Structures are given as structure tokens and as C-alpha cells.
Amino acid sequence: MSQDTILRFENVARRFGGVHAVDDVSFELKRGEVLTLLGPSGCGKTTTLRMAIGLERASAGRISYEGKVVDCPGERAFVEPEKRGMGMVFQSYAIWPHMSVFENVAYPLRYRRVGREEVARKVRATLEMAGLHGLEERRGTQLSGGQQQRVAVARALVADPGVLLMDEPFSNLDAKLREQMRVDLKRLQRRLNISILFVTHDQTEALALSDRIAVMKNGRIEQLGSPQEMYAEPGTPAVRDFLGKCIRLPCRVVEPGANGGVRVSLIDGQSFAVEGINRASGSRPGDKCLVAVRPESLQIEPAEGSNGDGRSNQLIATIKTLLFMGESHEADIEFPGGHMALVSLAPTRAWREGEAVRISLPPGKLQLWDRDPDTDGAR
């Protein structure tokens, strides 16, 4: 295990009866890094965190922390949670409602029999850092959701844990507060240079907070990488569709194209070049395929009064439904052949429902995939 790895999972599994909650999961949390486990409800995120801290035991594999094995059924090794020295923030906060803020945060220190004066000093410093100064005597019941959340973070940090584990810590807060907490956590993490294993099902939160993301599905890690590389070069359909928005057009391969790409055609026969990542299992002429593109890669302009300047890789589509969103318009557009997609339109002009738009498709940003089962009805 390298020096800069603090927590390591090797082929870890956890079964509950016949349910494979976590299946062959391997990753390393680096010192000072925020690594996020991202995936839909039930994919095994909480179970992974609970195994990291020792609230759940692995059925197979090995978990090491600071170079020491803390859970390995094969070696009959298991270190109790309180001996691991990690901090955890639960989805429900789990703060004690009738204890004061001070006592809630002091609890992990009292448990370790830290002296009175040191407790007072550490608790005050941690409350200050967590933005809770002046609330020491408040009861848990007298706190807002955001304040309870801060108490939970302070309590997890007060004993200087080597790693902080956070299970959907912001999911019970409203959207505005959630954004604020995100920024505050990032700032705190930078200041303390603490390592965080973060869990969320919210892809925006994952993209904003993480140095690296592990996308999970059915108890397994589908792909692990930086937010940028996962977004630009998803390795699997689950990663492609879970991280950010994606337009998917059912197509057929026409012929090999320039720059190692292919030419494809939509159902109505209009063809265009695809030169981005290729994840299709085959691309012979006539093969069914799926072209995926991030909505922000499309250039959309009114079709009326423009001839496209002779540029290639353009399609004419129709605005079916227009939604006013404040800083932009959301439009449901219909591609030739009937495929629908949701895009944003700049509010630079008055768009109209029923209007034709010219869509430029940059070949390097178009990805080639196999058809998904849900688009396979398309010809």
C-alpha cells in the first residue's frame, strides 16, 4: 500500500442472505482526497461506508486503513469501529436532541477520556470552524436542519479523525442550503487537508465536491476517475447517463469515416460524422448504434434565414415544447425520424414552438455506443 493511500478496499463483498449488497469492490482513498461513491438508491453505498468504519463486516476481501488490515474474513482480522479513529456523518445526522451542542460535539472526546480543559479547547475550536460559534448551549431540538448537520460534522471532526466518512449528509436540506453546505465543506476540507469518503446519489453534488468519483451500480464500481474524465469519457452506459445530461440518438452505421470515426445515419436517412470516443462493440455498415452527446456540445440556431454556411454535420430539428427557465429556455426538440431530446436554448431571441432549428454536431464530441435496450425498438 503506497504512502499516500489512507484507506484501501480490495475485492470487498458483503452479502445479506442472497443479496449481494457490495460485490468485489476495490478502491484506494488517497491522503487529502475527496472520493465520492455515486449511484442510485440500493447500489451499496451505505454498506460500503459502514464496512469502512466497521459497523458492518465484510463477507470477503480485505479493508486496510493506515497500512493496517482492519477487516479481512480470510485472515480473521477485525478492528472495532471505535478503535479505527474515523469520523462519520450519517444521513440522519444522529445528534442527541436533548444534549447541548457543546455536549454533542464533546462526546467523542469524553468517550476517550480526554481531560476537561482539552475538551473545552478542542470543542470551541471545532465549533468555530464548523460555523457554530455562539450556539454552544442550544439543545439539538432548538437547531435548524442546517445547524444539526454542522453539529454532526463538528462531532465527526473533533477527535482529529484520519478520514471522514459522509453518508448523503446534505440530502435532508433544501436546495439553497445544500449548495452552501457544499461550498463550506470544500473549504473546510482544503483547510484541514482531510481525506473524505463521501456518498451521494446526487450527481451535481458529486461533480462539485470530488477529486475522484466511483460510480456504483448493483453493488459494483462501474468506473472510477476524475469528474472531468468520467464526464468526457464515460466507460459504461450507466456512467454516461448518470453523470450529467446526455442526448442519445438511435442511428445506423453507414461507412467508415475520417479521423478513425464513422459516418452514421438517423432513422430518416440524414447522415453525419462521429469522431469521439467509440464504445460500440462493432461498427460495420448497417450495424445499429447509438450516438450520445452532451447537450452543451450542440450549437443550435434558428433554421430560418441561415443556410448553415455550407458546414457539414448539421441536422434540422423542430422545437416541440418550450419551457421558460429564467436564465435559459428548455426545449423539447424533435430530430428527423422522430427522436426527442431536451436541450437548453440561450435567451438571445424569442424562440417559438413549432420553429425549425439548425443543430451543429461537432464530430469530436459525438460518442458511438451500442443501442440501449430501451431504444432498441428504433430501426
Ligand X SMILES: Nc1ncnc2c1ncn2[C@@H]1O[C@H](COP(=O)(O)OP(=O)(O)O)[C@@H](O)[C@H]1O
Residues that bind ligand X (CB under 6 A): 16, 19, 21, 39, 41-47
Least separation in angstroms between residue 184's CB and ligand X is 24
Residue 104 as a binder of Mg ion (CB under 5 A): the answer is no
Least separation in angstroms between residue 60's CB and ligand X is 15
| Closer of 16 and 111 to ligand X (Cβ) | 16
Contact of residue 210 among ligand X, Mg ion, none (CB under 5-8 Å per partner type) = none
| Closer of 23 and 275 to ligand X (Cβ) | 23
**Those residues with Cβ within 8 angstroms of residue 104's Cβ, 6 or more apart along the chain or in another chain:** 95, 96, 140, 151, 155
Query: Is residue 72 packed enough to be buried (19+ CB in 10 Å), middle (13-18) or exposed (0-12)?
Result: middle
- Vertex 74 angle, CA 15 and 225, to 5°: 65
Least separation in angstroms between residue 55's CB and ligand X is 10
Least separation in angstroms between residue 152's CB and Mg ion is 16
From candidates 46, 64, 314, 367, binder to Mg ion by CB under 5 A: 46
| Closer of 46 and 149 to Mg ion (Cβ) | 46
Least separation in angstroms between residue 222's CB and ligand X is 13
Core vs surface per residue 282-312: b (16+ CB within 10 A) or e: ebeeebbbbbbbbeeebebbebeeeeeeeee
Contact of residue 16 among Mg ion, ligand X, none (CB under 5-8 Å per partner type) = ligand X
| Closer of 44 and 250 to Mg ion (Cβ) | 44
| Closer of 224 and 359 to ligand X (Cβ) | 224
| Closer of 45 and 212 to ligand X (Cβ) | 45
Least separation in angstroms between residue 17's CB and ligand X is 7
| Closer of 8 and 14 to ligand X (Cβ) | 14
| Dist. CA 221–CA 81, nearest whole Å | 24
Give me the residue whose beta carbon is nearest to Mg ion: 46
Counting residues that bind Mg ion (by CB under 5 A) gives: 1
| Dist. CA 208–CA 224, nearest whole Å | 16
Contact of residue 250 among Mg ion, ligand X, none (CB under 5-8 Å per partner type) = none
Contact of residue 44 among ligand X, Mg ion, none (CB under 5-8 Å per partner type) = ligand X
Least separation in angstroms between residue 19's CB and ligand X is 5
Q: Which of residues 200-229 bind Mg ion (CB under 5 A)?
A: none
Rg (CA), the chain: 25
Binding site for Mg ion (CB under 5 A): 46
